[in-house]
Structure 1
């Protein structure tokens, strides 16, 4: 009897504990999954509509296109005004209003559910017009118009393309900012920070330098400086982000030894990486002496229209310069005057009007092109870089160059001066280089203007 009483009391004591556990499990979710999803839809819609001056969307399509900036103003009546300025809408500011909705599809999804000429052009599956290769039929630009909402706050929204999985970020546009002015400023920032006249930019990292070619495309051809451009080049679309740029995803290099994505202009004028663990990395133009006395190997794409495809080939790129004829100092002034006198004596009335300076990577030589009113001729120099200076050696000219060189002692003296001592080179900027100051000595200087 005593044994049964003990057992009964044990059950009575255990009962409240069992009841307590059951109550805790029932309280884990106060609302059903459907209710929680509906609440998220309402919250995200409110966030979209709450930005006083709309949102800036950083939109990416595929690896062979730049990032595109869209401005969007959402209204609770489910309309959305969208504005942009890019090549696919004529490089002009345009805006158009259409409809949007946050729908439920295994989670909240932002959909732009009526056609918008400005926005849906990138999700149209037709072949992309005005491209050399007709191979985009069925997928077009590979852009999305529906986006899974990954995160949404009043100052930041993170989306993921539903079909192509590109990460799309949105931030509120500052109040009072004119939309058209903002888009113009974004384009101007990229063009003035990353000049199309610089043959490559260079990403400096702890494991080496990566050449970033074709900045004017809106996406880089990226390859380690000592790598094989044909087999190791990656494409990196980028977009303006704050006072800098952002890659469409973290770039790890062909050897996956780095991880960089976000860059901001620093006090030195370079694009400094802001990603954790990579803050010593930065992007800048090559050293000035490299820009005037060398070329850079890059990959380019050769179009085979018969096969309807592009083939990667090795190429060489360099900066083009023009000598500022009013910049000569010291003995260079007299040398230039003497050269003109000898040219005029050989061909009556002719004087040098321009001197172009360009390194040719395919022939591995520096060419100076002299032009008068009626004639032009080329003088060639070998160039090497030692201790940060350019050392030139005259190696002859083209057919015209040899004639002018042999008949004009002033041309000979001018060429000899360029070869008389190592030339120090100083650029006016670490990013958007426009001028290089050339010093043969402290007294004898001139400058080059980039073309």
Structure 2
């Protein structure tokens, strides 16, 4: 009996096998090579069938630098690329945003169909080219991408080595026009940085420096999680790299309201409200300069602070043969490539009237009390080039010693001047102005 059962099993298995083989022959009436060649031809045609080219939303490295907009027009192996990125060389050459740089591309097959930008393009390979003999990966970014999804107007690709998603959308206007809209939106939002995010009525303090949204979330078990999400500017707002969910609310795309300055999520109850003057100062993406006159040893500050700075000025002249021509609070020139802190106290030091050197000490600018306009200004760590100018330590220590400060602004909506008066000793004060 067992033998009969076994024979029946073999017979049924054979029938199923023959059916599967027949089905497979019906499904794959072309060889793998033929199907791959057809896919390559299809992607080549899609890339070239775009009179104005494509928008590419590119995220370099580990996404800690945010996202960058590129445009690309493909034509038989040649690609004309432009970007919101502005570059310059030590020799004085410059490539402002919107500059078109041409190079080569290919659509090739490996295990999948790949778009490769395999000849050098200054704009695009800036993030992947080596920065020196000991830095072979640069910013560790992709220049080869695997096709994941496709339609006539939208392509989704994934970086071959580092895995970041690259979204390409067909342009319906000129590349110049699109990039200018990106620059305009970035200027609007950078001028008035957001520090609060409201999700269904619940408020979160956020930082949006360097195309990186970061905030702290308290979980149900009382644990604290620091969340970071990169984003990219669009003509009408920003897009997060991927959907973010907070308190059950999921969102990704935001639009900017020109009338109110509010940034609101599409299809979700999430907003970045227009910031107060104090929030604009503490989240600044620009520089607020101290005013001083070395010849008279006077400045927009109390005399003791001016005298301390004058001592540092004299030391700089004696040791480095340089003059301090600028002193500011605000955007860190080394962030994010060389310094993890977006804000600093910085100085511009001029050598022989020829070149200005940037140096800084990383600072934290934080709101203590909105009602009284109290702000903390505290040093964190030496920043770029500071090691050569440590005679500025007394200045850093003095500003730290008398923090926190009460701030008075010249304009509550778009402040350009801020006067700080110490809460420790109200005879200690200084003013800074946005330039």
Give the TM-score of the pair, scaled to structure 2: 0.58
Give distance in 2, aligned partners of 1:187 and 1:105.
37
Q: 1:311 to 1:291 in 2, by over 3 A?
A: closer
Give distance in 2, aligned partners of 1:106 and 1:22.
24
Q: CA RMSD in A?
A: 4.6
- Please tell me whether residue 366 in structure 1 is matched to residue 406 in structure 2: yes
- Please tell me whether residue 109 in structure 1 is matched to residue 114 in structure 2: yes
Q: 1:260 to 1:314 in 2, by over 3 A?
A: farther
Give distance in 2, aligned partners of 1:314 and 1:400.
18
Q: What's 2:229 paired with?
A: 236
Q: 1:364 to 1:79 in 2, by over 3 A?
A: same
Alignment of 1:122-137 (within 5 A): 122-127=127-132, 137=135
Count, aligned residues: 308
Structure 1 residues 150-174: Cα deviation after superposition (integer angstroms, max 9, x where no partner): 1121110101011110101011111
Give distance in 2, aligned partners of 1:205 and 1:369.
29
Q: What's 1:209 paired with?
A: 203
Q: What's 1:336 paired with?
A: none
Q: 1:173 to 1:60 in 2, by over 3 A?
A: same
Q: Does the 8 A contact of 1:60 with 1:68 survive in 2? A: yes
Q: Indicate which of 170, 182, 185 corresponds to 2:181.
A: 185
Aligned to 1:184, what secondary structure does the other structure show? helix
Structure 1 residues 5-42: Cα deviation after superposition (integer angstroms, max 9, x where no partner): xxxxxxxxxx9999766533421222222221111111
- Please tell me whether residue 264 in structure 1 is matched to residue 255 in structure 2: yes
Give distance in 1, aligned partners of 2:426 and 2:131.
52
Q: 1:118 to 1:358 in 2, by over 3 A?
A: same
Structure 1 residues 243-279: Cα deviation after superposition (integer angstroms, max 9, x where no partner): 22112233457xx97654322236865332236xxx1
Structure 1 gap ranges (5+)? 1-14, 128-134, 320-356, 371-376, 383-394, 402-448
Q: 1:242 to 1:37 in 2, by over 3 A?
A: farther
Give distance in 2, aligned partners of 1:125 and 1:400.
46
CA apart distance, 1:141: 1.5
CA apart distance, 1:212: 2.7
- Please tell me whether residue 68 in structure 1 is matched to residue 68 in structure 2: yes
Alignment of 1:285-304 (within 5 A): 285-286=274-275, 288=276, 291=279
Give distance in 2, aligned partners of 1:285 and 1:86.
27
Q: What's 1:138 paired with?
A: 136
Structure 2 gap ranges (5+)? 1-13, 89-93, 284-329, 343-361, 378-402, 411-417
Q: Indicate which of 229, 234, 238 corresponds to 1:245.
A: 238
Aligned to 1:24, what secondary structure does the other structure show? helix
Q: Indicate which of 249, 269, 273 corresponds to 2:265.
A: 273
Q: 1:125 to 1:233 in 2, by over 3 A?
A: farther
Aligned to 2:190, what secondary structure does the other structure show? coil
Q: Does the 8 A contact of 2:373 with 2:407 survive in 1? A: yes
Q: What's 2:272 paired with?
A: 283
Give distance in 1, aligned partners of 2:50 and 2:191.
35
Q: Indicate which of 174, 190, 193 corresponds to 1:195.
A: 190
Q: Does the 8 A contact of 2:60 with 2:141 survive in 1? A: yes
Q: Does the 8 A contact of 1:295 with 1:359 survive in 2? A: no
Q: Does the 8 A contact of 1:160 with 1:166 survive in 2? A: yes
The structure having more radius of gyration, on CA atoms, is 1
Q: Does the 8 A contact of 2:217 with 2:226 survive in 1? A: no
Q: 1:450 to 1:209 in 2, by over 3 A?
A: farther
CA apart distance, 1:218: 2.8
Q: 1:97 to 1:380 in 2, by over 3 A?
A: closer
Q: 1:142 to 1:258 in 2, by over 3 A?
A: farther
Give distance in 2, aligned partners of 1:283 and 1:94.
32
Aligned to 1:182, what secondary structure does the other structure show? helix
Aligned to 1:27, what secondary structure does the other structure show? helix
Q: Does the 8 A contact of 1:58 with 1:239 survive in 2? A: yes
Q: 1:142 to 1:99 in 2, by over 3 A?
A: same
- Please tell me whether residue 86 in structure 1 is matched to residue 85 in structure 2: yes
Question: Bigger shift: 201-210 or 96-105?
Answer: 201-210
Give distance in 2, aligned partners of 1:166 and 1:24.
37
Q: 1:30 to 1:209 in 2, by over 3 A?
A: farther
Return structure 1 stretches of 4+ with deviation > 6 angstroms.
15-21, 300-304, 311-314
- Please tell me whether residue 397 in structure 1 is matched to residue 426 in structure 2: yes
Aligned to 1:366, what secondary structure does the other structure show? strand
CA apart distance, 1:88: 3.2
